[in-house]
Amino acid sequence: MSGTSFDTVREAVAPPAGGRDLGRRGFIKGGVALAAGAAVSLKLRLDAVAAEPAYKMDDHWWAFAIDTTKCIGCGSCVRACKAENDVPDGCFRTWVERYTITRDPKLHVQTEAEKTSAAWALGGLQKVTVDCPNGALDGFPTEAPVEDAKTIEKAFFVPKICNHCATSPCVQVCPVGASYLSPDGLVLIDREVCVGCGYCVQACPYGTRYIHPVHGYADKCTMCYHRISKGLKTACVEACPVGARAFGNLKDPKSKIRQLLGTSRFKLLRPELGTNPKCFYIGLDEEVR
Amino acid sequence: MHGSDVIEGLTGFVFPNEVHVHWTVMIVLYPYITGLVAGAFIVASLYHLFGRHELKPVARFALVASFVFLLFAPLPLLNHLGIPERAFNIMIIPNPSSAMAGFGFIYTLYLIIVGIEVWFSLREDLVARARSTTGLKQLIFKALCLFDLTVDEKTHKVDHRVVSFFAAVGIPGACFLHGYVGFLFGAIKANPWWSTPLMFIIFLLSAIVSGISVLIFLYFFISRLRKVEVDPACVKTLANFLWGFMILDVALELLQEMSIAYEQTREWEALSILISQKLHMTYTVLQLGLFSLVPFFLLGINAVARLPRRVSHLFTFLSAIMLLAQVLLMRWNVVIGGQLMSRSFRGYTSYTPGLLDKEGLIVALVIFTVPFLLLRLIDQVVNLFPPDSAIGRWRTDKPPISSSSAS
């Protein structure tokens, strides 16, 4: 539960980086000082953990909501996530996609093939352009991603994260049980167990997983478990300037997410796969997958 | 589009974590090697169990080849794992819901079955070597014989019965091992290029095709090195089996593609581009075109027409080489092809294996070559071909470690 706490304990007792050539006396002195410091630090840390209000897994069932009508594509969430979770370059726990939908002005010259396409069924030739430069880490360029901006019918942003599916294919396929659904509804990865086979990366229909390029284990969004289990917000929710992201406890009728989902119409990503995702999208366009 | 502007090799939109292909050429090699295992084992069993006596010249060789390939099958997997030192987690703490978790057990079980069968089929030769050598060598051979050098009518019968028993047990084992590899891919619902119940049957049939092909190739190759004639009846039987299995294999693949094309689902739009553009050369032109059509006709003509022996053998040899390439391409098109298409169905990434990378081409080549070298080593110790065949007599005519020949 408190992965960060234990990590901090580990860091606290770890020897300082960069060795020096110490004499025997210096070594002993240093060792005693370090041990004493570590003990105090450990004690303080454990006290701090113990002092936190008791978090009961069974009282929680976490879920996420994204209001795509609010997102402005600034990329603050991506940057916050990267900073909070030390996400390696080129890998993404969250990202933002930009959809630009254009309508061909030459509506009367379709070919027979185009007439039978889904775009035609939607009332005209519709071309969808999706871009996501570097996961939107630096937001989006101001110019339109299409040749003729006048043809743009509509455009919108869609943030993506791990869907924390209730019947998650990544949990199903993990050969060693390193990926698991926690009792409070989050799909998490035990880094001490994962073998880095990448089967979960293949099984996730949403492309939310990656193999950590340095450590070799599978990695993805944890919904900032180390924060939310202490009553804090996730980094991305904290950073979003327009409130496009929300999370909360579905078991709590007064939670923000319950109120949001109770008053909005939402959709899920690829529900036909039966993964029962717990990331609810408000205002999701048909074109988003 | 920006996606394609930013990173070379991308077309359309791919999810940012999909830019790099996770399962590399190592995962192409793994089903390829297990396919050789299953195919070679089935040839051995055709002789040992189903009484195809014309396969006798290659039966024992097939069995040992199967065992040797089996030993090296997990190597590309190990090399691919992000944390290989935890590989045994898969057997210590297996997740029962995972299709992959069974690998360790199925593999080990099959290794034991084939290992026992190989040992019983080589026992008499090992005893002979233990009797004809001295010193440390003798000790090693005695240990390999488990310090029992009895060979008589009774042990001969027992050895034969044990081999037959394990040949019988091994057939479902081989089918299971390789069908299971296909299932690993077929069970991934996120990937429409993989997700089909036919996947395990296609893998199994292509395994048999590659296994027979590698045996034909090695049989010709070794016979050529030893300057002896191949056994025409044996080659003819192998060629006919190869023809039959390749027809089933290719037909199933075509049926599979036809059915998804005809269904015209939402995914087909993206899959059709994958097939017609990204995999145009490796799938359409080479796998289903050149390397399927040509062997089909060559083996077909060979099966129905009375060709001069040299022509017949040439057709068989060429077909075997082409089908080896065909199955390798099939593995590539499944494993790599399935990862080229984004799960957004809006774009494609690309993949070219590096030469010197940890999971690059040189390492792949080394991993693939080692089983052949081990096979050569075993061939120096015991005769892998029956002494009453032309290729086996070469052993008795010449001392084992004499020339520069290599198998």
The answer to whether position B129 is within a domain reads: yes
Is the Cβ pair A135, B16 closer than 8 Å?
yes
Mean pLDDT of chain B: 91
Structural domain range at position B219: 25-397
Count of domains observed in chain A: 3
The answer to whether position A87 is within a domain reads: yes
Tell me: do A148 and A100 sit in the same domain: yes
| Cα–Cα dist B247/B253, whole Å | 10
Count of domains observed in chain B: 1
The answer to whether position A84 is within a domain reads: yes
Q: Say how many C-beta atoms besides its own lie within 10 A of residue B26's C-beta.
A: 22
Give pLDDT tens digits for B42-87. 999 999 889 899 999 999 999 999 999 999 999 999 999 999 999 9
| Pair B249, B209: CB distance under 8 Å | yes
Closest by CA to A66, choosing from A273, A207, A242, is A242
pLDDT score for A20: 42
Tell me: do A183 and A117 sit in the same domain: no
Tell me: do A10 and A65 sit in the same domain: no
Instruction: Name beta bridge partners: A97.
Output: A158
E strand or H helix at B255: helix B232-263
The answer to whether position B12 is within a domain reads: no
A176: nearest CB among B18, B94, B339: B94
pLDDT band of A120, cuts 50, 70, 90: low
Which amino acid does the sequence have at B37?
A: V
State the smallest CA–CA distance between residue A171 and chain B in angstroms: 8
Tell me: do A107 and A170 sit in the same domain: no
Instruction: Name beta bridge partners: B341.
Output: B348
Is the Cβ pair B82, A207 closer than 8 Å?
no
Is the Cβ pair A176, B86 closer than 8 Å?
yes
Tell me: do A259 and A116 sit in the same domain: no
Assess A196–B contact: CB distance below 8 Å, yes or no. Answer: yes
Q: Dihedral angle at the C-alpha atoms of A220, A224, A226, A227, nearest 10 degrees?
A: 170
| Cα–Cα dist B57/B392, whole Å | 8
The answer to whether position A288 is within a domain reads: no
Q: Dihedral angle at the C-alpha atoms of A105, A70, A137, A142, nearest 10 degrees?
A: 40
What token pair was written down for A203? 């099984």
Give pLDDT tens digits for A100-110. 998 876 655 55
pLDDT score for A150: 86
- Dihedrals phi, psi of A282, to nearest 5 degrees: -95, 130
pLDDT band of B326, cuts 50, 70, 90: very high
Closest by CA to B261, choosing from B245, B248, B274, is B274
The answer to whether position B163 is within a domain reads: yes
| Pair A133, A166: CB distance under 8 Å | no
Which amino acid does the sequence have at B298?
A: L
DSSP category for residue B20: S
| Pair B343, B190: CB distance under 8 Å | yes
What token pair was written down for A236? 């991305």
Structural domain range at position A119: 96-158
Task: Give me the helices (H) in B133-196, please.
Answer: 135-144, 153-186
Closest by CA to A94, choosing from A31, A157, A22, is A157
The CATH number assigned to the domain holding A259 equals 3.30.70.20
Mean pLDDT of A220-231: 97
State the smallest CA–CA distance between residue A173 and chain B in angstroms: 4
Is the Cβ pair A207, B342 closer than 8 Å?
yes
pLDDT score for A52: 52
Q: For residue B137, give every residue at least 6 positions away whose Cβ sits within 8 Å of its Cβ, in sequence order, or none.
A: none
State the smallest CA–CA distance between residue A177 and chain B in angstroms: 5
Find tokens 């799960």 and name the residue: B343
| Pair B385, B57: CB distance under 8 Å | yes
| Cα–Cα dist B31/B74, whole Å | 10
Is the Cβ pair A175, B103 closer than 8 Å?
yes
DSSP assignment string, B374-398: HHHHHHHHS--S-TTSHHHHHHHHS
Tell me: do A243 and A210 sit in the same domain: yes
Q: For residue B289, give every residue at least 6 positions away whose Cβ sits within 8 Å of its Cβ, in sequence order, or none.
A: none
Which of A82, A102, A202 has the most B C-beta neighbours within 10 Å, making it the best mutation to test the interface with B? Answer: A202
Q: For residue B379, give every residue at least 6 positions away whose Cβ sits within 8 Å of its Cβ, in sequence order, or none.
A: B407
Is the Cβ pair A95, B15 closer than 8 Å?
yes
pLDDT score for B9: 79
Give pLDDT tens digits for B1-16. 333 344 567 899 999 9
pLDDT score for A114: 63
State the smallest CA–CA distance between residue A143 and chain B in angstroms: 11
Is the Cβ pair A90, B20 closer than 8 Å?
yes
Assess A213–B contact: CB distance below 8 Å, yes or no. Answer: no
Tell me: do A152 and A177 sit in the same domain: no
Find tokens 């909360």 and name the residue: A248
The answer to whether position B222 is within a domain reads: yes
Is the Cβ pair A173, B83 closer than 8 Å?
no
* ipTM of predicted assembly, 2 dp: 0.91
| Pair B334, A279: CB distance under 8 Å | no
- Regarding pTM above 0.90, the answer is no
Coil, strand or helix: which one is A95?
A: strand
Tell me: do A34 and A169 sit in the same domain: no
Is the Cβ pair A176, B80 closer than 8 Å?
no
- Extended beta strands in A7-67, E state: 62-67
Q: What angle do CA B121, B127, B129 make, to 5 degrees?
A: 110
Is the Cβ pair A173, B187 closer than 8 Å?
yes
Assess A105–B contact: CB distance below 8 Å, yes or no. Answer: no
pLDDT band of B403, cuts 50, 70, 90: very low
The answer to whether position B88 is within a domain reads: yes
Give pLDDT tens digits for B346-372. 999 999 999 999 999 999 999 999 999
pLDDT band of B381, cuts 50, 70, 90: confident
pLDDT score for A117: 63
Name the A residues in 82-101 with CB < 8 Å from any B CB. Answer: 90-92, 95, 97
| Cα–Cα dist B345/B293, whole Å | 31
Tell me: do A234 and A129 sit in the same domain: no
Is it the case that residue B399 has pLDDT exceeding 80?
no
Residue pairs spanning A and B at CB distance below 8 A? 152
Chain A residues whose CB is inside 8 A of the B23 CB are 198, 202
Assess A113–B contact: CB distance below 8 Å, yes or no. Answer: no
Find tokens 């960069």 and name the residue: A18
What distances in angstroms separate CA B204 from CA B37, B199, B251, B321, one per listed residue? Answer: 11, 9, 13, 19
Tell me: do A81 and A175 sit in the same domain: yes
Assess A155–B contact: CB distance below 8 Å, yes or no. Answer: no
Give pLDDT tens digits for B128-151. 999 999 999 999 999 999 999 999
Chain B residues whose CB is inside 8 A of the A97 CB are 13
Closest by CA to B344, choosing from A107, A219, A215, A98, is A98
Q: For residue B365, give every residue at least 6 positions away whose Cβ sits within 8 Å of its Cβ, in sequence order, or none.
A: none
Give pLDDT tens digits for A27-84. 566 566 666 666 655 555 555 444 456 899 999 999 999 999 999 999 999 999 999 9
Tell me: do A87 and A223 sit in the same domain: yes
Closest by CA to B198, choosing from B242, B233, B151, B248, is B248
Is the Cβ pair B98, A202 closer than 8 Å?
no
Q: Say how many C-beta atoms besides its own lie within 10 A of residue B401's C-beta.
A: 7
Mean pLDDT of chain A: 84
E strand or H helix at B237: helix B232-263
The answer to whether position A192 is within a domain reads: yes
Tell me: do A106 and A234 sit in the same domain: no
The answer to whether position B16 is within a domain reads: no
Is the Cβ pair B95, A194 closer than 8 Å?
no
Is it the case that residue B107 has pLDDT exceeding 60?
yes
Give pLDDT tens digits for A230-287. 999 999 999 999 999 999 999 999 999 999 999 999 999 999 999 999 999 999 998 8
Q: Among all residues of chain B, which has the CA nearest to that of A93?
A: B17
| Cα–Cα dist B385/B231, whole Å | 12
Percent of chain B with pLDDT over 70: 95
Q: For residue B330, give every residue at least 6 positions away whose Cβ sits within 8 Å of its Cβ, in sequence order, or none.
A: B202, B206, B253, B287
Is it the case that residue B281 has pLDDT exceeding 90?
yes
State the smallest CA–CA distance between residue A107 and chain B in angstroms: 22
**Share in percent of chain B as helix, strand, coil (round to 5):** 75, 0, 25
pLDDT score for B5: 41
Is the Cβ pair B81, A194 closer than 8 Å?
no
State the smallest CA–CA distance between residue A167 and chain B in angstroms: 12
The answer to whether position A289 is within a domain reads: no
State the smallest CA–CA distance between residue B117 and chain A in angstroms: 30
- Boundary residue ending a domain (A158, A175, A204): A158
Chain A residues whose CB is inside 8 A of the B80 CB are 197-198
Cβ-count burial B341-363 (b if 16+ within 10 Å, e if not) = bbbbbbbbbebebeeeeebeeeb
Q: Dihedral angle at the C-alpha atoms of B222, B226, B227, B233, nearest 10 degrees?
A: -50
The CATH number assigned to the domain holding B58 equals 1.20.1630.10
Rg (CA), chain B: 23
Q: For residue B216, give every residue at least 6 positions away whose Cβ sits within 8 Å of its Cβ, in sequence order, or none.
A: B235, B238, B239, B242, B316, B317, B320
Q: How many CA atoms lie within 13 A of B279 on its CB side?
A: 25
The answer to whether position B131 is within a domain reads: yes
Give pLDDT tens digits for A134-168. 999 999 999 889 888 888 989 999 999 999 999 99
